Chains A and B, each alone.
Chain A
Amino acid sequence: MVIDGQIFCGMLISAANALDNNKTIINNMNVFPVPDGDTGINMTLTMSAIKTLSRSDGSLSDVAEKGANIVLRAARGNSGAILSLFFRGMAKSFRGLDAAGSTELARAFRRGSDEAYKAVMNPTEGTILTIMRTCAEKAEKGAAGKYADDVVGLFAYIGRKAEEALAKTPEQLPVLKEVNLVDAGGYGFVVILNGMLAALRHHPVEALSADEDEEESVERTFAEVSTADIRFGYCTECIVEKDTVHRGEGSADSFKHFVSELGDSMVFVDDEEIIKLHIHTNHPGRVLEAALEYGSLMTVKIENMRNQHSEILGVSTSTAEEEPVLYRAIPEKKYGFVSVCMGDGIRDTFCDLGVDQIIFGGQTMNPSTQDIIDGVNRTPAEIVFVLPNNKNIYMVAQQAATIIEDKKVIVLATKNVPQGISAMLAIDPDAELDVNMESMNAAIDAVKALSVTHAVRDTTLNDVKIADGQYLGMVDGKIDTVCDSLDDCMKQLSAQAEGSSFITIFYGEETTEEAALTVAEYFKEKAGVMADVNVICGGQPLYPYLVSIE
């Protein structure tokens, strides 16, 4: 047996379903006990776009290429970015092949792993990368030995080794051991492998229906995602009157089998004299052509389901297979800015600072490569700076930058909102690029970012006991204080303001202005009378306070 395009396509879809069914588990494998676990959602959203692949998209080379492109554009979060690079590497390795045996599969794993490693500047062991590399090593070993002619066996072997590698991740990453978890991204990758294997064994993983999965992500309700979720665009129905040669019940088994590969939701009635067929497919023509071999078409009905769906939603039609329709703004100025952020007040602040395009996202809601590409395209400037404002969005932003060709795109390494704001304050619209780069990067380094959120479970981190519901005060992403009351937490954090002159406090959606003004007093006290302390209603979720200190 070999893996051809159709089988590979089924494997990818099965993997996407498997992820979808497990995303909540993966989300909860967050090292920090903070309410922003998003690896599961990121990986799921990255992979679910693959469900738009149609089952008969040609050779393995073609399917892998299409699949990789879809995943690349849908990539969200670092885990999603790494995943997309893995599939990209696989696709490159499969280029030109109709099908793959063990040797080709092993090569593809190696290439995928290599491509993923290349993109990460400081690869950390004990993460998804380790699992990928282990898979590549074991695949090579298996293909050269026991599984040289058994691609299914090889895949199963790779899957087992991946699970073993995953179980070892706590030994490689001390922080995982401390919180007694395996790496979430690695776990997701193992889920993907298992999903692919299941399909290879003819038992592909089906998606659980939405009501079985209670934590359906909010953004999946966006209209465009929903239309993309319709994998097969045409509801095709026909009744065939069997010609004399084909009379008899069950005479059309091979037709049934052929059609079933062209779509889903099939209803097939193979009667004595007629065949009645209902199927959702992307190829109504092929269905009808094949039907003609058994007799004449009595009735035919074909409906475009995406159109219907779009009409219901009141949006224009766009099918997933088309290139997304893009609006490209013509450059009107030298510099433009795309910033990722959450919260109305923070958005307004960025707009006030001259940001052209805001991409909604941040903790728990990472934008995709395509979201960032769209933002850049809409920005009417020759040079577009992208401010990810989150370390988990940086990679995807860089990926977007490599895809965009007609504009110069520079991704700034802003890990949080305060850094993003400082970078915007440092820009001089009349200065040369290198001057601006230097001053923006210096500004990013000069700002101290405080954030406060609450723990979502009991844990011990760096020998500090943290109880569910306690407030965690973080300085530049590291836990600094753990308190039962938010007020105490801010009091302690205010020590960070000593000697500073410019402090901005963004209070979140769950905080009142009154409380924020009290907190501002703590900071004023530490910073001294001449310091400016601004209090802004940031409106961000999950984080009662974000504070920028300069």
Chain B
Amino acid sequence: MRGHRDLSLAVVAAVVCGLVAAIVPLEAVRVVAAIPLALWLPGFAIVEAAFGPRQLDRPQFVLLSLAMSLATLAVAGILLNALPGGLTTLSWALLLVIVVVCGAGLAAIRRGRRRRRPEQPRLELKRRDIVLLAGAGVLAVAAIALAQVRFPAHDVEGYSALWILPSDRSEKAVAVGVISAEQDSASFILTVRGARPGPPLKRTVRLDPGQELSFDLPVAARSGGAPQKVVASLYRASWPQRLFRRATTWLNGSKSFR
């Protein structure tokens, strides 16, 4: 690829990006490496290979490089799926690097001797333009950042959830949880009966919005294989007479559904 600086650069960039994407654990760094590797370089190499010595004008070249990268990603998945390892980080990185290396190699061969690239027109930006573009960029980032922020929504209706599950397959305990998605802190009375002989377990809990209380409740040893119903009930502390939520599970219950 001697004499074809753009192709050499593409190959080096693909190898470096592939290594970074496959090895580096930091997501932000991988994003920076993976975007050109996935969305630009394969298409660039394919277009260069296809057109060889012919020079496309810049907009068409950009479009085809981008589009062929997208097309490569769409089609390469089918190829990787046929391989034993399937679609993994390593196989994707390898395949994309191979596409770039092969494409660039073919392009170099097709171009033949050193091709003198016509001088690309320079972009002339005034200071005012730079300020305006920077302002536009800041506003766009602010708009997207604002969309990530979650604000209080006092008009929406909060709720609370009660759940119960056997904590494991041996069913020696049940896991019980209360999730508060109320707008304000709320107090509840939680009772669980059926897990142990005697009076039901009773707890008063106060939860802030977004808070979850969960605990494992050991179950008393059962005689024989009779199904045993465990019932968790939740009451609002301010209205203890009225059942608010109820969750149940059967220990040793029938598993004949299938």
A is bound by B: no
The residues of B with any CB-CB pair to A shorter than 8 Å are none
